Structure 1
């Protein structure tokens, strides 16, 4: 325990404390309405945090050679694909099948997928370092082949936001493994250009655009003209603006949010940052995001300093996962990006995300422990 990295564990614990406090505040009205108990989501979040801490400790004390065991990784991939197939037959919520109900607990397979693919990519690329130097195309096709299979299953749910996160994390890991810089730069520029063309095409052709569902089109419409659709698809973003505007610099006070009382849908999950902005103001948001981004920078630093390729790619993957997920969530709350349903790490209500990300922190602490 003397080798524990306090630059990682202290921000992590602080974020958990702030998160559970804001989950209680933001969910109290919804919980009282749905379950007649204002502390329902708060109690559940405490359980998720406890399970997350258990996962963190498990991966912190886990021997590194077990993570590099080919059979264990193969079993993990098998479980991942099994869950991704099973969830397609689960009950749909808001037009999507993303959760497997276990009675008292719901599993979101895509969160487990993030962790296993991050692990798999680090393993496979660390084993192919010589091949990457000689012929990088042959070395990097296995992770992208697995990514293609995962993409098909995730899009069937559908969950485009999570797929973007998974794709970016794996791509950054591949670029960090020794691929020539020009190839990485050209690939990134090409992908960004195609994505821009795709979004522009949706804007021009709207419902005539092939392959675009009505639900996804509404998300883009709400992104472009939220106040025009304030009574429908734009409701979340408009009420997020109201919450942030009302909070000002110092906020209206903890527990005094108006938007959480039936105006802002799901205030304790995707849009918890808007409630934080309303109650704690810009100062509270800045403090919270400073902690989160300090944690991300520290994780990336540990990865860069690590002399073991597998450990380095694990840390780079975890840091990228936290960064991309945070950017997508924040972008949706402030209207910079379309709303995607992605949670804010360690702050938003949710079990699968909390447990998986805590396990990721445990992996990073394990890497740092071995480095020391």
Structure 2
């Protein structure tokens, strides 16, 4: 009970508000499709509510989990090994849906191992880098060589599902955590410039050679075509982006009202998952979108702040990795919704429908709250000691 007194309300309250907003928007965005497919407009509402409840339970577990156990080598290695095994099982046994193998059926539940991998990689890197922080500063390549190979292998297993969005998120998380652990800023600049050049070259390759490239399937190439000229493909692969524009345009400044979206009635595919922000914009307008984004980025800023203030390198890296996960995932989703980047199938944290994503993201916030409480507890102990010494 004493630990609950140390909970960081600046993390907890935005999470709860975003989760409730997500339940409301999932219901609004999915009611038409749910009625058509299941004769029950509340089908996705009930499922999302259960996911949020399960996520909150997971967050409590993450918060109450003994902090010192998080730094146990055996637990870290077991978590990493199980994640790699699940990714292999997905490739071997998962049913292909929309051209990808992402979901693993475990009895009555479906699990998306790529979502689990995000938090496991953060945990693994926080453990490794916090133990070798001095070596990272002195000899980066020797220190991160083996861990980087392992994480690169995990990214590869996710990429060939194929799930490029999750692989990009993992790469972004890993890069930020490595440089947050003490790597030279010059190396960071070199990585950034190299990444920009690689991305530019990759886009040019895709533009000229299309789906004849060995790593690109036809539906993925069509997403790039839709990104470059969505209105030319408005009746096929460009439909999502074009109707996303229509939804955001129709919403204007204050929206047409909750539940009044037209685009969700069969015009905009995936209105309650990848493109839920478009429906939010149509119903609540630019003001509604900015409020949600403001709350979301406030949460990210607070997590970064907890990480920066943390005295323990392990806890600091955990927070920085989780904040980066939220930031990269949110930006990729928004980029796809407004046409700044190709659609990748990445959902918006806490707002989009999804079981694995909702539960894993909530659990990761539980870890942030755990780190915050750990730091607050140590501060209270130091103050008591100082007060005792002064008396």
Distance 1:314 1:231 in 2: 44
Deviations 1:344-364 (CA, angstroms, capped at 9, x unpaired): 000000000001110110011
Residue deviations 1:115-137, cap 9 Å, x none?
10110000000010121232121
1:259-295: CA deviation from partner (whole Å, max 9, x where unpaired): 1011111100000000000000001000000000000
Contact 2:156/2:167 (8 A) holds in 1: no
Return closer, same or farther for 1:104/1:252 CA change in 2, 3 Å cut-off.
farther
Alignment partners' CA distance in 1, 2:79 and 2:215: 32
Map of 1:22 onto structure 2 = 25
**2:273 maps to what in 1?**
269
Q: C-alpha distance in 2, partners of 1:353/1:51?
A: 11
For residue 228 of structure 1, give the secondary structure of its aligned residue in structure 2.
helix
Query: 1:251 corresponds to which residue?
Result: 255
- Following TM superposition, the consecutive aligned residue runs of length 4 or more in structure 1 with deviations greater than 6 angstroms are none
Give the alignment of 1:96-245 within 5 angstroms. Answer: 96-245=100-249
Decide which structure has the larger Cα Rg and report it: 2
Moved more, 341-350 or 208-217: 208-217
Partner of residue 82, structure 2: 79
Distance of 2:249 and 2:204 partners within structure 1:
30
* Cα displacement string for residues 324-346 of structure 1 (whole angstroms, at most 9, x for unaligned residues): 00000000000011000000000
Secondary structure of the corresponding residue to residue 263 of structure 1: coil
For the residues of structure 1 that align with 2:167 and 2:13, how far apart are their CA atoms? 30
Unaligned runs of 5+ in 1: none
- Measured after TM superposition, the shift of residue 105 of structure 1 is 2.4
Give the counterpart of 2:61 among 58, 62, 65: 58
C-alpha deviation, 1:156, in angstroms: 2.0
Query: Helix, strand or coil for the counterpart of 1:250?
Result: coil
Q: TM-score, normalised by structure 1?
A: 0.98
TM-score, normalised by the number of residues in structure 2: 0.93
**Larger mean Cα displacement after TM superposition, 199-208 or 317-326:** 199-208
- On the 8 A contact 2:126/2:314 being kept in 1, the answer is yes
Report what 1:367 is aligned to: 371
Report the 3-state secondary structure (helix = DSSP H, G, I; strand = E; otherwise coil) of the residue aligned with 1:325.
helix
Aligned equivalent of 2:39, options 13, 36, 40: 36
CA drift of 1:152 comes to: 2.4
Partner of 2:306: 302
The farther-off stretch of 337-346 and 190-199 is 190-199
Match of 2:70 in 1: 67
Does the aligned pair in 1 maintain the 2:226–2:233 contact within 8 Å? yes
Post-superposition shift, 1:64? 1.1
What is the deviation of 1:201?
2.1
Instruction: Give the drift of 1:14.
Output: 0.4
Deviates more, 1:321-330 or 1:150-159: 150-159
- Displacement of 1:210 in angstroms is 4.5
CA distance, structure 2, for counterparts of residue 211 and residue 102 of structure 1? 29
- Pair 1:279-2:286 in alignment: no
- Distance in 1 between the 2:21 and 2:178 partners? 34
1:110-166 deviations in Å (ceiling 9; x for gaps): 000001011000000001012123212111113211122112211221001110000
Q: 2:297 is matched with which residue?
A: 293
C-alpha distance in structure 2 between counterparts of 1:253 and 1:101, whole Å: 38
How many aligned positions are there? 372
Equivalents in 1 of 2:297, 2:155: separation in Å? 28
Match of 2:343 in 1: 339
CA apart distance, 1:109: 0.5
Deviations 1:156-212 (A, max 9, x none): 210011100001101100010011110111111111111111112212333444432
Distance 1:34 1:106 in 2: 20
Gaps of 5+ in 2: 377-391
